[in-house]
Amino acid sequence: MTEADSKPALSPRDASMPRHVAIIMDGNGRWATKHGLPRAVGHRNGVEAVRRTVRASIELGIPYLTLYSFSSENWSRPADEIDDLMGLMKRFIRRDLAELHHNGVKILVIGERGNVDPELMALIDEAVELTRDNKAITLIIAFNYGARAEIAKAARLLAERVLAGTMQPSEINVDTLGAALDTAGIPDPDLLVRTSGELRISNFLLWQCAYTEFVFLDAFWPDFGRELLEEAIARYRARERRFGGRSKRSVV
Determine whether 26 is an active site residue: yes
In the beta sheet, which residues pair with residue 214? Answer: 192
Contacts of 21 (CB under 8 A, 6+ apart): 57, 62, 64, 65, 66, 189, 190, 191, 192, 193, 229, 232, 233
In the beta sheet, which residues pair with residue 192? Answer: 22, 214
The one catalytic residue in 5, 28, 74, 182 is: 74
Calpha distance 99→82 (Å, rounded): 26
Calpha distance 25→50 (Å, rounded): 9
Q: Do 106 and 138 meet the contact criterion of CB atoms below 8 Å apart?
A: yes
Q: Do 207 and 175 meet the contact criterion of CB atoms below 8 Å apart?
A: no
Helix, strand, coil shares, percent, the chain, to 5: 45, 15, 40
The one catalytic residue in 26, 182, 190, 223 is: 26
Calpha distance 98→102 (Å, rounded): 6
Residue 247, helix vs strand vs coil: coil
Residue 108, helix vs strand vs coil: strand
Which residues are tagged catalytic? 26, 74
